[in-house]
Amino acid sequence: MRLAREDRFDELEPLLGKVTHPARYLDHEWGAMEDQPGPFHVCMIYADTYEVGQPNLGIAILYNELNRAEGISCERAYLPWVDMSALMRERGVPLLSLETSSPVASFDIVGFTLAHELVASNVIETLDLAGIAIRADERDEEDPLVIAGGPSAWNCEPLVPMFDAVLLGDGEQEIVDVARCVRDARAEGLPRAQILRRLSKVDGVYIPSLYDVVCDESSTRWGYAVPRPGTDVPEVVYKRCIPDLAATEPVAQRIIPYMGIVQDRFALEVLRGCARGCRFCQAGMTYRPVRERPAEQVIDAVGEGLSATGYDECSLSSLSTTDHSQCAEILTQLNERARQTGVRISIPSQRLDSFGVDMAAAVSGSRKGGLTFAPEAGTQRLRDVINKNVTDEDLERAARNAFEQGWRRMKLYYMMGLPTETDEDILAITAAARRVLEIGREVCGRPRKGKGGVSVSISVAVFVPKCYTPFQWAGQLQRDEVRRRQQLLLNSAQDRDIRISYHDSDVSVIEGALSKMGRAGFDVIYGAWRRGCRFDAWSDQFRYDLWLEAGRAAGYDLEEVAAEAFPLDARLPWDHTSPGVGKGFLQREWRRAMGGVTTPDCTMTSCTGCGVCPTLGVSNMIAGDRHAG
């Protein structure tokens, strides 16, 4: 039975003095929606702490769109930290929404953003704390519909036993269409099963309960999903795609938190999609095509957003901001305004060319902190395999340019365990860092002692194969071999001005296993949660031993699952959903990778045949009149 909608903050308030960071649980932030008119209520959830989830642009966009829709209201909820959740269970207080302190279980729709694979156990924890049945097939007619979407929804199969619906692709209009569909169906008195059938007709919506999993000789051990007989649902659900980013509301962030949060600045999405074609990058495939906001819209939106929030820093967000065709114009105009206000404009990691460094100089002004580049691989051979179209000369030229313009610190991002990687590729990472350091010392000179010198930081992630990329068939590097290569890397860096950090190989195993599993993998996730796993993205909470134990109990060796390679012609667990990128294109890119053959950016040359534009009826929208062929 659905709980009554009522303000229950008086039950939560006595607990605030007993927990860390009580500001996580305070409502009525500046900029939040004051009136919740209804009568149809949606609660959007980021299944992590408030300070991690509050700055999420995806949640902010959906929150605004739903609250603009007539007759629909949207509130937010975040997962309380372990101290608060323990007290809430002890006192019988369910998970409450932030805006009105209403029980999350009282909403019509509860929506999760799947930001990464390690959020899996947190979704279970959230549902349990809310008092909502964890499995969708155990909910009754009065329970909310539980939906999901976001960057990690592409292989949602290990999670779908929890979800009534999964939304694929751009969510701005899709979430409103879903809410209206459910609202109207309930007004007609339709039962839950018929509501889900109606939802399956909404573009971009996947209803897991209407698909069966089949295992046969054409599949991996995880099988593949097919429509249930008589359901009249598509064999492949394609993503929803906004054709023109300029037609969407640019200012999403308007809520001011009571506490410090990650990415504590105003963020503006200036570009969606990327066509550079890095073969390891899931976002580069699933967010296609490229759609830019025009310079004038970006400049006006920055002014509006900073005025609404009071921040003194704006981040121009995208997968590759310096690829925006009007980036120079945007930064020039914003910096003209910023000089008089003290506002700082920031952009993500720069391209490895002089343009990227020039753009970094434009946003930093006189304040030169660290500069970040992402070569991804140490040798040209391996960069060709992954289609990272940069050279050693690009890195050296960018480094010299940066040091000459006043930078003293540089950070380089790499990956370990990429297909065909050898020890030579690992050793080339520190060789590149030494060369950058030499350039810095040549340009800046060596300090006599201590401060004022140049330094290079290397951050090395473990490569995790992801669905809908050309490397989706690859096996992940085994844990012991990851550790050997990490030690090789450490031993090769003798200069104290080269600092190395790397990802936890245990965490990468679990991420890799969750990325590969099919629907049967839910038993592993549920078993891990029952054993106490939650907040797995937090290093002090992650329990590798409990995950392995849950895997064994379900009949799986998770290290073996992560390392498993799939045949190129196998039917994959996620083949029934699609971002529009053709499987034939991905297979072709895999073969080109094995031959060390690169593929150009279609916004710079001509169509490379990925299939997104004809399949979805869209095209690259380049604001500066640089169009794909």
Q: Where are the domains of the chain?
A: 9-167+171-238
Q: Per residue in 48-57, pLDDT tens?
A: 999 999 999 9
Residue 468 has pLDDT above 70, yes or no: yes
Query: In sequence order, what DSSP letters do the residues of 255-281 get, joined into one string?
Result: PBPSS--TT-SEEEE-EE---S--TT-
Global pTM reads 0.96
For residues 230-257, give the mean pLDDT: 96
How would residue 337 be classed by pLDDT, with cut points 50, 70 and 90?
confident
- pLDDT(366) > 60: no
The stretch 571-588 carries a mean pLDDT of: 98
CA angle centred on 353, ends 350 and 355, rounded to 5°: 75
Q: Is the separation of the CB atoms in 596 and 590 below 8 Å?
A: no
Helix ranges (H only) for 351-421 are 354-364, 380-385, 392-404
- Residue 201 is encoded by which pair of tokens? 């007709």
Residue 629 has a pLDDT of: 40
Convert the pLDDT of each residue in 250-287 to its tens digit.
999 999 999 999 999 999 999 999 999 999 999 999 99
List residues bridging with 225 in a β-sheet. Answer: 213
Q: pLDDT tier at 118 (50, 70, 90 boundaries)?
A: very high
The more confidently predicted of residues 521 and 353 is 521
- The C-alpha atoms of residue 139 and residue 133 are separated, in whole angstroms, by 6
Percent of the chain whose pLDDT exceeds 90: 85
Q: Which two tokens stand for residue 345?
A: 């404009």
- Residues shown for the chain: 629
Is the pLDDT reported for residue 173 higher than 60? yes
DSSP 243: S
The Cα 298–Cα 319 span in angstroms is: 16
Res. 98 pLDDT band, cuts 50 70 90: very high
Block residue for tokens 């194969």: 465
Q: Which of 354, 355, 493 is nearest to 437 (CA)?
A: 493
Residue 406's pLDDT band (cuts 50, 70, 90): confident
Find the DSSP H helices in 41-81: 50-53, 57-68
pLDDT above 90: residue 603? yes
The CATH superfamily holding the domain 9-167+171-238 is Cobalamin-binding domain (3.40.50.280)
- Over the stretch 390-401, which tens digit does the pLDDT of each residue have? 999 999 998 998
pLDDT band at 335 (very low <50, low <70, confident <90, very high): confident
Q: Would you state the pLDDT for residue 248?
A: 96
Region 405-415: what's the mean pLDDT?
93
pLDDT surpasses 50 at 244: yes
What distance in Å separates the CA atoms of residue 625 and residue 607, rounded to the nearest whole number? 16
Which pLDDT score is estimated for 340? 77
Given a contact cutoff of 8 angstroms between Cβ atoms, the answer to whether 150 and 58 are in contact is yes
pLDDT at position 370 over 80: no
Higher pLDDT, 490 or 372: 490
C-alpha distance from residue 476 to each of 112, 282, 507, 519, 562 (Å): 28, 15, 13, 20, 6
Lowest mean per-residue pLDDT among 226-230, 368-372, 424-428, 526-530: 368-372
Q: Which helix (H) or strand (E) holds 313?
A: strand 313-317
Q: pLDDT (tens digit, 9 = 90+) per residue, 607-629?
A: 999 999 999 999 999 997 654 44
Question: pLDDT value at position 358?
Answer: 73
Between 364 and 87, residue with greater pLDDT: 87
| % of the chain residues with pLDDT over 70 | 95
